[in-house]
Amino acid sequence: MNAQIYTREIDPPEGRWKSRLVNLTLRLLVKSSHGLNIDIGKLRKQFDRLDGQAPKAFPANVRREAVNCNGVAAQWLTPTDCRPERVLLYIHGGAFVAYTPEVYAAMVASWCQPLKARALLVDYRLAPEHPFPAALNDALKSYRWLLNQGLKPENIVIAGDSAGANLVLALLQRLRDDREIAPGCAVLLSPFLDFTLSGASALGNARHDPIFTPAFAIGIRGFYAPAETHGLPAVSPLFGSFAGLPPLLFQVGSTEMLLDDSVRAAAKAAAAGVPVQLEVWKRLPHVFQMMPALPQASAAQRNIVGFVNRYTAWNG
């Protein structure tokens, strides 16, 4: 029996002028530098500059602590009033090649407090030095490490963005195939799920996307996995089976090149009987949730908290 897909197109009037300004800034500073010939060193410096712009006032009631998860580097974010049995496992984006720990810590900490949960931010091995399947294996090790700490799968929520959301979905499919117990639910922000770039939005939104270009998407995917693997579900989890997966929340911008990755994945999940919520946010950029100046980021966070509470026993 098919599950109903809960789809919302969201266009709140508050913050529209800010989103236009953000889109223009991204188009000028980021998109203009994205070509086919990608210099990893320069790209990582760009991410480092982004990380330096993270909010300086990190919540005083959230403790940060480095941890080793079966050989995988990570950090705990632990609010003082959290319920320690509740864990958000977060797998970051960064095109598989970069990490902005300060930006992600700030965003995820803001989720932890209303959820009364702690978060584990995974610092998986990066491409091209460590190509597929290194990052996916690190994500799997981190999840199994949490279970070995005595945590119950239903009290774990997995979330990720962009490349990290690719790893989230691939991890869920791997757990299902290995007959391991899945987490309570999963949140995917602007996921990059199709390395073949077969979605209509990959070209249809190319002019409108304020960050990505087709040349950049073609160039970056090769650092993570060779061309002959791009159609494999472990690399492009859109092509995998969605049967037996936990409830899924997708949030994506309407002008993203990756829009159809979310739309098609949500449809496949619903057809497989998986509870799924798809949110298409009007004219918002890739992973806008990490931009605290946008009122829409706070609204998206509230929806994430509501979704997690709906599909876990965390409400209260």
Residues with a known catalytic role: 162
Residue type, 126: L
CB neighbourhood size of 211 (10 A): 22
Residues 6+ apart with CB under 8 A from 49: none
The residue behind tokens 């190319």 is 206
Strand 185-189 with 276-281, pairing:
unpaired
Check: CB of residue 285 under 8 Å from CB of residue 22: yes
Residue type, 37: N
Q: Give the whole-angstrom CA distance, residue 59 versus residue 57.
A: 6
CA nearest 268: which of 294, 241, 290, 297?
Answer: 241
Check: CB of residue 296 under 8 Å from CB of residue 24: no
CA nearest 76: which of 119, 117, 114, 140?
Answer: 119
* 50-57 contacts, C-beta under 8 A, 24 or more apart: 50/100, 50/103, 51/100, 51/101, 51/102, 51/103, 52/102, 53/103, 54/100, 54/102, 54/103, 54/105, 54/106, 55/106, 55/292
The residue behind tokens 């691939």 is 170
